[in-house]
Amino acid sequence: MPLSELYRMARGKLDSSQDKNRSSSTDPSIVPEDDFVELVWENGQISMQG
């Protein structure tokens, strides 16, 4: 999967999650706009660390 496609897919999930949980969120998978995350490739899997 091209990185641009992965980014678009992750961005879409992030945006839809934020829309649902605007007021207060306890979901650690949601990353605020101004935070930096790192995409890590390990054993054929991509994960986010931040």
* pTM of model > 0.85: no
The conformational region for residue 43 under phi > 0 = left, psi -120 to 50 = alpha, else beta, is: left
pLDDT tens string for the chain (50 positions)? 677 777 877 777 666 655 555 545 555 565 556 667 788 888 888 888 77
